[in-house]
Structure 1
Amino acid sequence: MKTPKRIQPLIEEGLVDEVMRQLMSGKEATVYVVRCGEEIRCAKVYKEASQRSFRQAASYQEGRKVKNSRQARAMEKGTNYGRKMQEEAWQNAEVDALYRLAAAGVRVPKPYICFEGVLLMDLVTDESGNAAPRLNDVELSEQQALNYHAQLVRQVVLMLCAGVIHGDLSEFNILVDGDGPVIIDLPQAIDAASNTEAAVLLERDVNNLASYFSQYAPQLKHTQYGKEIWLLYTAGLLSPDSQLTGRVAADKRPANVAASNEAGTRPRAAHRAGR
């Protein structure tokens, strides 16, 4: 096929030899199957900010650090240069997350380079060597659903142990290869320790999984893996080997009304004492 304009710089640099076909087009990027020497990989071409339906919400940007102070100031002011830097930071977030997660044993595509707004990475394939389908396009038995759900909850745990939360996890950004689910699409990934929305985003990710798989395995519908994982994480008890139940015990301790009333009267007493 004709080489897309955005991939041409990779051809010129010898990073890509041939664009074979378009694989998919999503809300933030278009993905192509490419040949790099003897290897078949994929090239993710990020769309311009004005063309994306997925906006860079403040909840995803929070906690992301820019080392260059000039770039940080330009991004805050919203200058043309600042918007360009913001785009680079958005794209690099996925590359950084992929390297970080791959090192932690999370099932993600292996990244190679992000060059001129194009991310070059492994092509995830099925047992026949064809491009792996999205989870949303796979029909599952109850046992397969339970198995895939368990695998993905474990992947979420591994991600959080590495300090990363996907932030937009659903059946649409999970592929299924011969060994099970592979997590993709991470430009909105957040740092769990520096983002105040971390707990909300983690729980939403895990609830999305439960909601999807419960159509095949109804017993998953009311599980609470997200809350359980976050409680273990904040208590410093989460590890890749943590045994999860999917249940969180309700806090049945009686409210300390006397202490609450006492605390509520202290400001008034102090005010009277200060007169």
Structure 2
Amino acid sequence: MQNYVENNFPDTFERRSAGADARHTDRANDWNYLDDQLSESQRWSTWPATEKLMRGPLPYPEFVIEDAGAIDTELGVLKTGKEADVFLIERATTDQHVLLAAKRYRSPEQRSFTRSSTYTEGRNVKRSRDARALKNGSTYGRIVEASRWANSEWQYLRLCFEAGAPVPYPVQIMGTEILMEFIEDPEAPGAAAPRLQHVRPGPERLESYWMQLVEAMKTFARLGFAHGDLSPYNVLAAGERLVVIDLPQFVDLAGNERGVGLLQRDCHNVCAWFSARGLAVDGDALLAEIIAEAW
């Protein structure tokens, strides 16, 4: 991890290394330690402020740091998108540290949820005020929309992880920020796993990837959902295993009249990638196989 931070974010690494030990020592000896002693890229761990349902499924993995004295350090951007950006975060104490991915949905004036109605059909909004705000497109409505998408992704991550689907472990949610497991490339320790689009697997691994992805889609279907935006760009290739990311647009196959159509698009997207690399697969056959799991 240190090599990754040092090589990719040298300025951040130097600032963190120079003062980290002193900050942790001061924190341990003086609980009145002021927040303004942290650098602009740091904050105290937000874990203590989260409630049970804002945390990931039990049992917590060993990499989850529960220490209230931990410090979160932002190391850089992993991914930018239309609705959210993903940042690399180090959460550390004096004797433990871990890298996490922080997905932050953008503020109302910085984003556009132009596709949201396609995916959210069939989802309920409990509060009438929120429903009206969403319909009217007010500033408050856009805030509700961002929170709605963050909360949706959080719930889908938890649901899928507990069902055994290959998704990142959801660590916690606070507001419109989701902290989740950082998926590392085992073949380049400390570096992020590449997207499936950017790898060139040999025949044996290609077939293994196909079987993993089909099983992931079946697991989603058994839960009643389709990914809705599945492509080689939102699947990570972490060595021999695949990890599916970007779940906020999960589609209810029964409650959304476009559900089967979006599932069909998912099937054809992934089949096109595998077919181009020499694996004989068929999108319509995959669609039938996945639908059989849903009903």
Aligned match of 1:207: 268
CA contact (8 A) 1:165 1:190 kept: yes
Mean CA deviation greater in 101-110 or 21-30:
21-30
Aligned-pair distance for 1:103?
0.8
Aligned match of 2:163: 104
Matched, 1:89 2:172: no
- Normalization by structure 1: what TM-score? 0.75
Mean CA deviation greater in 24-33 or 160-169:
24-33
CA contact (8 A) 1:210 1:223 kept: no
- CA deviation vs aligned residue, 1:100-129 (integer Å, no higher than 9, x gap): 100110000111222232211110012143
Aligned match of 1:132: 193
Aligned match of 1:145: 206
Matched, 1:114 2:173: yes
Separation in 1 of the partners of 2:206 and 2:108?
Answer: 36
Matched, 1:176 2:242: no
Aligned-pair distance for 1:43?
0.8
> Which of 182, 191, 208 is the equivalent residue of 1:123?
182
Aligned match of 1:47: 106
Matched, 1:22 2:77: yes
Tell me the amino acid that sits aligned with residue 222 of structure 2: C
Gaps of 5+ in 1: 237-275
> Which of 112, 120, 125 is the equivalent residue of 1:61?
120
Separation in 2 of the partners of 1:140 and 1:122?
Answer: 24
Aligned match of 2:64: none
Q: Tell me the SS of whatever aligns to 1:17.
A: strand
- CA deviation vs aligned residue, 1:217-272 (integer Å, no higher than 9, x gap): 24225652113321x246x3xxxxxxxxxxxxxxxxxxxxxxxxxxxxxxxxxxxx
CA contact (8 A) 1:102 1:110 kept: yes
Matched, 1:225 2:286: yes
Separation in 2 of the partners of 1:82 and 1:25?
Answer: 23
- CA deviation vs aligned residue, 1:36-62 (integer Å, no higher than 9, x gap): 122211111223455447623322120
Give 1 or 2 for the bigger CA radius of gyration: 1
Separation in 2 of the partners of 1:86 and 1:9?
Answer: 27
CA contact (8 A) 1:21 1:32 kept: yes
Separation in 2 of the partners of 1:176 and 1:193?
Answer: 30
Separation in 2 of the partners of 1:65 and 1:9?
Answer: 37
Mean CA deviation greater in 122-131 or 152-161:
122-131
After superposition, residues 146-161 of structure 1 pair within 5 angstroms as 146-161=207-222
Separation in 1 of the partners of 2:42 and 2:228?
Answer: 30
Separation in 1 of the partners of 2:196 and 2:231?
Answer: 9
